Amino acid sequence: MTRHRSRPHAWIAAFLALVALPAALLVPPAPASAANTLTMLGADVSSVQRSLDLGARYYDAAGTARDPLDILKGLGVNYVRLRVWNNPASGWNNKARVLAYARTVKAKGLKLMIDFHYSDTWADPGKQYKPAAWASHGIGQLQTDVYNYTYDVCSSLKAQGTTPDSVQIGNEINVGMLWNDGKVVNNDFTNLSLLLKAGYQATKQCNGGTQVIIHTANADSMANARWFYDGIRAKGVQWDLTALSYYCMWHGSLANLYNVITDVRSRYGRPVVLTETAYPFTAANADGEPNSINGGEPCAGHPASWSGQATEFAWVQNTARDAGAVGVFYWEPTWYAVPGNGWDPANINGTGNQWDNMAIFNWTGQVNPNIRWTP
């Protein structure tokens, strides 16, 4: 999730002036068609274990209490994304918790994506903190750390019969990961490329069929996306899927999203997936924690309402589909306001939920009756 939007550095700004946008790409998203299909219909439900343990209930459109994964399956979901933190203070989203919930995910017949943050807390464009255990490690040791940790989590999942179908090597790594050693400075992708290669090799040695994803929040800018993916490609980094985050309030229009997807898909020859998107169903706030997104109409034409949320999500899927992407994931659709399931892993009981108006379940667990994942 993108908690803080970072403005491009001066050297990125300089690069922008060098990139000409092909006229053929400057087109609005086409109407939905059957020409392309979204095969990865996903939901990141990383917070749901904690919600359920705290007594949260989830109700389908008929008002029947059901397992949230069953409700999501009924709405079209076929893929679940789970973040993994190295040693979070709360204990949630650590390896043991992910292993436990992976069994539930696979038992439901759903595919599994593991999102490695390589941190004890949130990693996003504005922050990529090393886990405490790696704090003093330089780039040489960090390569070993990334390899060993990735292989350990993947092989542990494989050993219990829940081999991940895909993994992300880093989360929204717009300017690198495991800062400062893995940060891209002065256009030098060397250190980042070493870390990404270590993660790729560990994944493939664990299970050759698991797809490796490189994820940025660069859906806002074709130039930024080119700068990043050109940079890692030039260093010999391999990956299987190109992933982007798209939130209209931060990343701009659907026409721009269409252009970015089509460009990175053709430029790098890899399938593209939106591993994060979401939209509010209300402008109200359920707790004392300020919402990440506010306003009655955060993106023009889509009110913060059940219908506005469903329409925005449908339009994102249509745009992704028509641009040739293969999947769209809703970020934390099950994370409604449950006391004790706060956003800060260092104070999970004492903080509220910044996403309570962005879930597809309201504050008593009723699902948005209009929302669907569509192939």
Tell me which residue of 85, 72, 95, 91 sits closest to 157, measured CA to CA.
95
Angle at 217 between CA 74 and CA 238, to 5 degrees: 95
Give the CB-side neighbour count of residue 254, counting CA atoms within 13 A. Answer: 23
State yes or no: is 289 an active-site residue: no
Burial status of residue 320 (CB atoms within 10 A of its CB: 0-12, 13-18, 19 or more): buried
Q: How far is CA 375 from CA 40, 260, 314, in A?
A: 8, 21, 11
Of these residues, 172, 297, 312, 332, which one is catalytic? Answer: 172
Q: With H, G, I as helix, E, B as strand and everything else as coil, classify residue 276.
A: strand
CB 357 within 8 Å of CB 293: yes
Give the active site residue among 276, 297, 312, 332. Answer: 276
Tokens representing 112 are 């599994």
Q: Which of 254, 268, 248, 278 is nearest to 32 (CA)?
A: 254
- How many CB atoms are closer than 10 A to CB 13? 11
Residue 312 annotated among the catalytic residues of the structure: no
Radius of gyration of the chain (CA): 19
* Residues labelled as active-site residues: 172, 276
